[in-house]
Amino acid sequence: MLDGYIAEKYAGILTEEDVGNLFDSLVKKLANNRSEAARRCGLTGKATYDWERTAYVKLATKKKVLKASLEEDFIETVEYLLGRSSDRSVDLLRAVLSMLYADAIEADSRAGFEPVFQKFEGTRARYQGIIKDNVRDEVEDMTHALRNRALELGVAMAERTVDELSPRELIDGLQILGHIYLESPQEAQAFAERNLGLPKQALEPMMQTFRDISTLKQLRATAVDEFPERAKKLLFLAELNDVWKESLQGVSPKWPIVIEQNHTHPVRGGVLVENTTTA
């Protein structure tokens, strides 16, 4: 019953290549007996050779091959359908985003850029869930380039939800804010709200992390035996960001502090050691 329903409903999405793949798989499962595979599909052997020669398969034939494949191996056939449907959706999304990207990047004014950029952002966010690993980098590169262009043109970026952010965007945001925060905490907050379009669910924890790490400035050369767990947490958070890691190690002149640590004992001898060298 279910075999027939799926075949009737979804045979239309099959290409000639899909029909050939399903039929070849059926042949292999039947000990390479092509005649038996054709019989299971309700087809003549000649019909299977005809579609290979003409690269055309009637809808009725697609239904027969799909039904026979489902009857032979239901799970494998359904997984094949899901995979092919997903691949086609991703290809279509990439084509649409690439077209919008080209139109936006070629726009020479804010008026021409902004509506296309907003369409790109909306489309990408709406279909974020189907962007696969093999195209994620490409989409994120386009997004990064368009966001830089938006900043140049003074186009405000709408706040998004955490679910709409990719891991790369969160990491980039953390790095950018880390650099700015070292110069001006107030400007970092304003910049994030004004230019990065980070949602509050992501921005507030980031800023709190920076504030927590900043307390280490006041803790240098101070015994930390009374709050070892706090120190461990702060040091762990700092290591997530290369800018702060450099600062904590005394590389950055903005923060002349050295912390000798390992994962078990983050502060040697329970003391944050002040850098005695001149920055």
Q: For residue 124, which of 164, 92, 156, 87 has the smallest C-alpha distance?
A: 164
pLDDT in tens, 22-38: 999 999 999 999 899 99
**96 pLDDT tier (thresholds 50, 70, 90):** very high
**Region 117-127 average pLDDT:** 89
Mean pLDDT of the chain: 75
Residue 245 pLDDT greater than 70, yes or no: no
Give the span between the Cα atoms of 39 and 45, in whole angstroms. Answer: 8
Average pLDDT of the segment spanning 89-116: 92
- What are the helix (H) ranges across 154-251? 167-183, 185-191, 200-219, 228-239, 242-248
Which of 75 and 225 is assigned the larger pLDDT? 75
Q: Looking at per-residue confidence, does 39 or 230 come out higher?
A: 39
266, pLDDT greater than 80:
no
Q: Which of 188, 126, 122, 116 is nearest to 150 (CA)?
A: 116
Would you kindly state where each structural domain of the chain is located, as residue ranges?
2-72, 87-158, 168-274
CA distance 235 to 240: 9
Does pLDDT of 261 surpass 50?
A: no
Given a cut of 60, whether residue 233 has pLDDT beyond it is no
**146 contact partners, CB below 8 Å, separation of at least 6:** 101, 104, 105, 117, 120, 121
Predicted confidence at residue 197, as pLDDT, reads: 64
Between 160 and 92, residue with greater pLDDT: 92
| For residues 157-175, average pLDDT | 71
Contact 191, 177 (CB under 8 A): yes
Q: What percentage of the chain reaches a pLDDT higher than 90?
A: 24
The model's pTM = 0.55
Q: Which residue has the higher pLDDT, 13 or 254?
A: 13
- Residue-level pLDDT at 241: 53
pLDDT tens digits, 40-72: 999 887 878 777 676 778 899 999 999 999 999
Q: Identify the pLDDT of residue 112.
A: 93
Within 10 angstroms of residue 215's Cβ, the number of other Cβ atoms is: 10
CA distances from 163 to 118, 126, 129 (A): 18, 10, 9
* Mean pLDDT for the stretch of residues 91-106: 92
pLDDT of residue 229: 55
Q: What is the pLDDT of residue 216?
A: 60
Phi, psi of 154 (to 5 degrees): 70, 30
pLDDT reported for residue 156? 78
What pLDDT does 73 receive? Answer: 92
Q: Which of 135, 124, 132 is nearest to 163 (CA)?
A: 124
Q: Would you place residue 181 in the very low, low, confident or very high pLDDT band (cuts 50, 70, 90)? A: confident
